[in-house]
Amino acid sequence: MTDLPAQADILVVDDTPANLNVLSTILTQQGYKVRPANSGELALIVTQHAAPDLILLDIQMPGLDGFEVCKRLKESDHTRDIPIIFISALDDVLDKVEAFEVGGADYITKPFQILEVLARVEHQLALHRQRDTIVAAKALAQRLQSPVDKLVASLETLASSSGAPPSAEQVAAIDAIARTIQSGLLELARLTEQELHDAS
């Protein structure tokens, strides 16, 4: 298995104690932080309190089944972006289709194979990290737009000043803008470097 860049937080939801124990054990052994939940109702409470990085979700449970839990999670701004992997004994094509329609990211059929579970978990976490990096990079680019516009305006003002030397205030303003842009570019480089490290 690949090295984890950080201890990912995984919520495992299954009403069968044996399945809950096996999944929790193998994920913990791989270095993940695991939170077990034995019902759909408890899973909703836990995710609202502290959103995990990934959810492994059983479908057939008393009370709220996995499909309903997934629907409710996708309806909340706080939890809609959490990747959900269904783990179920249901092997019918229609069940799998419904799992993806309600927002599931992947589907594993019971009895599950440990290596398959770990591979799919790592894949979804990697996709989730990439998405977070893209969102952060877009937000950073938006924050840089304003200082770039100000720098362009300041340079245009200097260019139209008929050769007069810039004032101390103008120099200070341009320097501050340039430092802001430099800081943003360094942060963007850090995000890119981290993404390349995670992908390697």
* Distance (Å, whole) CA 153 – CA 151: 5
- Please tell us whether the domain made up of 9-112 is placed in CATH 3.40.50.2300: yes
Nearest to 91 by CA among 113, 117, 110, 76: 110
Domain range list for the chain: 9-112, 130-199
Q: How far are the Cα atoms of 48, 82, 90, 112, 178 from residue 77, in angstroms, in the given order?
A: 10, 10, 29, 31, 36
DSSP states of 4-63 as a string?
Answer: PSS--EEEEE-S-HHHHHHHHHHHHHTT-EEEEESSHHHHHHHHHHS--SEEEEES--SS
pLDDT digit string (tens) for the chain, length 200 residues: 444 445 899 999 999 999 999 999 999 999 999 999 999 999 999 999 999 999 999 999 999 999 999 999 999 999 999 999 999 988 889 999 999 999 999 999 998 899 999 999 999 999 888 877 777 777 777 777 777 777 777 766 766 666 667 777 777 777 777 778 777 777 776 766 666 555 54
pLDDT reported for residue 159: 62
What per-residue confidence (pLDDT) applies to 190? 72
Nearest to 69 by CA among 90, 45, 47, 44: 44
27 and 10 in contact (C-beta within 8 Å)? Answer: yes
Predicted confidence at residue 103, as pLDDT, reads 96
Q: What's the number of CA atoms in the CB half-sphere (13 Å) around residue 52?
A: 28
Buried b (16+ CB within 10 A) or exposed e, 72-90: bbeeeeebeebbbbbbbeb
CA separation, residue 96 to residues 39, 92, 113, 124, 151 (Å)? 21, 7, 18, 17, 53
